[in-house]
Amino acid sequence: MDGASARPMGTVEWALLVTLSVIWGGSFFFNALAVAELPTFTVVFLRVAGGAATLWVVIHASGGRMPAQRRVWMAFLGMGLLNNAIPFSLIVWGQSHVASGIAAILNATTPVFTVLVAHFLTLDERLTPSRIAGVVLGFAGVVVLIGADALEHFGVAVVAQLAFVGASISYAFAGVYGRRFRDLGVTPIQTAAGQVTASSCLLLPVAILTDRPWTLAMPGAEVIAAVVALAILCTALAYVLYFRILAAAGAVNLLLVTLLVPVSAVVLGALILDERLEARHFAGMAIIAASLVAIDGRLPARFARRPATG
């Protein structure tokens, strides 16, 4: 994630980045709508299964095919668990108890945990002074956002916020785990389709056993539309955009999306769901944003290179 490795982004890349941030920010909004009438595992299963079906259609329509090797599908299974099944379930459950804006802000801590996981589990992603500063700021932002009185009033809302942190940790492990696909000869779109297919297989029995979907009332049109949006927009289309940006602008620039996602989530939550965040939530968001800037490294490096005047 060194600033020197970042590629310059043009108008198209910036437009794709902003679009992706709005789509992923919208996923918290759609989660909030869906979880109002459907249980957690049903929502998550419908999201990944719908996304998988869409991506399979895209692959076959473009003349591609999915790999058949057992070791590749075992890797998909691990990626689906870490990158979809666990974090999606934690986020959707958490959103049944707290505002979508808070969920998005805490989810933005993913790069903070990623640099920690990468430091201990890889040989080429070591902690640097700027990354250490980013990690410290990131944890400070989480403390500010959750509130200093959390231990005195430890309730379901605090547990829900910790669930979002758990989702970020799972995403961090997924980011390191996903490095193996470079050596498996699997394309990014195949990886996306494979992981959501694998997570669908993992979640189906869980949803059947815990949610008993045949006993659920038929959801309203608004909830059905939210689930479709989660599957097609926030999963299938989002992955297509994600890998397009990754190929065109690199992983460092892609990190910027984590700065933008909470903005769209907070705006949607306020305008449509009438959610209101407290001052400490915005303070926590600002500190977490500063932590991501430190981890990214480009802005501090730019100031360090600026010649002294006077």
Residue 122, judged by CB atoms within 10 A of its CB (0-12, 13-18, 19+), counts as: exposed
Structural domain span for residue 155: 9-302
In a domain, 61, yes or no: yes
In a domain, 307, yes or no: no
In a domain, 277, yes or no: yes
Full pLDDT tens readout for the chain, 310 residues: 444 445 566 788 889 988 999 999 999 999 999 999 999 999 999 999 999 999 999 999 999 999 999 999 999 999 999 999 999 999 999 999 999 999 999 998 988 898 899 889 888 778 888 889 989 999 998 888 887 665 556 688 889 999 999 999 999 999 889 888 878 888 889 999 999 999 999 999 999 999 999 999 999 999 999 999 999 999 999 988 888 887 777 666 777 788 788 988 988 888 888 988 888 889 988 998 898 888 777 666 666 666 655 4
Which structure tokens are listed for 243?
């890998």
Cut 0.85: pTM above it? yes
Predicted confidence (pLDDT) per residue in 187-215, tens digit:
889 999 999 999 999 999 999 999 999 99
In a domain, 31, yes or no: yes
In a domain, 175, yes or no: yes
DSSP 37-75: TS-HHHHHHHHHHHHHHHHHHHHHHTT------HHHHHH
In a domain, 56, yes or no: yes
In a domain, 176, yes or no: yes
Q: What is the number of domains present in the chain? A: 1
In a domain, 309, yes or no: no
